[in-house]
């Protein structure tokens, strides 16, 4: 039985990606990096490998290199939401809320049926970015949008409760100088 070179590369690519994921989960980032780089060398046209490489680089604290890998994945698969969400995560880590929001909106536009947890992650990250920008109502809308698609997600339910509490005006104690006491306003 003769296996074509392309098929052999694909098999090796899958094995290396699996090895990189397992090493990443086990926090063996050096092995994960070597395996992810090998997967990218085997199939430079695969966006999944680039995203995995970016995840490993991010875990190693190499955000600029991770961002580059994520942008390469975006160019390879512009119709997919995952590369845009990955790019937004770097901006969130750096506190660049507007940039993160821009890529989260692009990711949201590209969501497809079957993207599963991306709905939740995008809704949560959008809410965080909007909250950091002081846009509480929009943050709450983002959580509501996520809950429509993933209604039983505990993190979104917690975030909704937290945002409802933040959005509610709280009683403020004001001292009335004409009276001898304070009253709630």
Domains of the chain: 1-78 (1.25.40.10), 79-167 (1.25.40.10)
Model pLDDT, residue 169:
40
Q: How many residues does the chain have?
A: 185
- Separation of alpha carbons 29 and 58, rounded Å: 10
Question: Phi-psi region for residue 43, left (φ > 0), alpha (ψ -120 to 50) or beta?
Answer: beta
With contact defined as beta carbons under 8 Å apart, do 44 and 10 qualify?
A: no
pLDDT digits (tens, 9 = 90+) for 73-120: 999 999 999 999 999 999 999 999 999 999 999 999 999 988 888 999
Confidence (pLDDT) at 152: 86
DSSP code string of 141-172:
HHHHHHHHHSTT-HHHHHHHHHHHHHHSPPP-
Per-residue confidence (pLDDT) for residue 6, from 0 to 100: 82
pLDDT for res 2: 57
Q: What pLDDT score does 99 carry? A: 97
Positions of the chain with pLDDT under 50: 169-185
């Amino acid at each position: 039985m003769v296996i074509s070179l392309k098929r052999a590369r694909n098999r090796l690519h899958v094995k290396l990606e699996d090895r990189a994921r397992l090493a990443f989960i086990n926090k063996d980032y050096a092995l994960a990096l070597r395996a992810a780089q090998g997967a990218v060398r085997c199939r430079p046209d695969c966006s999944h490998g680039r995203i995995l490489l970016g995840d490993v680089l991010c875990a190693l604290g190499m955000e600029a290199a991770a961002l580059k890998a994520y942008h390469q994945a975006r160019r390879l698969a512009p119709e997919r939401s995952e590369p845009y969400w990955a790019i937004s995560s770097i901006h969130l880590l750096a506190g660049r809320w507007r940039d993160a929001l821009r890529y989260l909106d692009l990711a949201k536009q590209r969501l497809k049926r079957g993207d599963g947890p991306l709905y939740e992650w995008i809704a949560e990250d959008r809410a965080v970015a909007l909250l950091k920008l002081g846009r509480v109502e929009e943050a709450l809308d983002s959580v509501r949008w996520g809950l429509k698609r993933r209604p039983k997600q505990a993190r979104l339910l917690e975030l909704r409760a937290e945002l409802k509490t933040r959005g509610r005006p709280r009683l403020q104690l004001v001292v009335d100088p004409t009276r001898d006491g304070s009253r709630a306003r």
